[in-house]
Amino acid sequence: MLEYYVIYQNLSLMKKNLLMPTVGLLAVLLLFSCIKDTNFDEAQNIALTPVVELDLIYFNVDASEFFDSINNISILTLRDTTEIRFLDDTDFQESLIRAEFQFNFTNSIPREFMVDFQFLSEENEETYVIGTIVNQGTVQVPVFTQFIKKVEGEEILQLTQANKVVVSITIPSSDASLRGILNLQSKTTYYLEIKDRG
């Protein structure tokens, strides 16, 4: 029993004696593994690349809006204007490298639609335009249509000249009995590159 106690004591001392050198060695290795030559001139070449995601346009258009029941005539095109003033900010324009528009339509109207997005300058000059077709659905079975448009290169300059967007929704025909709703939810993702201009 005494012999076992002596061996246990010796092992316990060995553990204590090895603990300090092991911890010291690990600390030194950790310290040297974190040291790297740093070139502070490279700090001037750093560019931030934030991604900004914003809601763009949303609406619910009832089928009844495509028919004037008082005058008994079809209204084939509806228009709405939304301001997008942040696009005309100079810093934003210089930093924008790409934009991605995502338009999600849910259509329960039994008609196909042509939807145009016309980007206009403050002087109402067209700077950029995109359009898509929305598939027809039914009140019982609404149909989902997604349209994604990526804008980059020369088109970015055209886009950033705009400060409003006009949405035109065109239906081929309508009458007083037409039922359903056309819903749009859209967002834009802006990809920026911000460099030190100092």
Report how far residue 44's alpha carbon sits from residue 196's, in angstroms, rounded to the nearest whole number. 7
Which range of 5-19, 91-105, 110-124 scores highest in mean pLDDT? It is 110-124
pLDDT at 124: 94
User: Who's near 177: CB < 8 A, 6+ residues apart?
Assistant: none
Residues with Cβ within 8 Å of 170's Cβ and at least 6 positions away in sequence, in order, are: 76, 77, 113, 114, 115, 116
- Residue 93 is predicted with a pLDDT of 79
Query: What is the value of pTM for the model shown?
Result: 0.73
Q: Kindly state the tokens that stand for 24.
A: 């010291």
Positive or negative torsion for Cα 162, 165, 166, 168: positive
Contact, 133 vs 112, CB < 8 A? yes
Task: Read off the tokens for 181.
Answer: 């709703």
* Least confident residue range of 8-12, 115-119, 153-157: 8-12
110: pLDDT strictly greater than 80: yes
Asked if 136 contacts 112 with a C-beta cutoff of 8 angstroms, the reply is yes
pLDDT of residue 4 exceeding 50, the answer is no
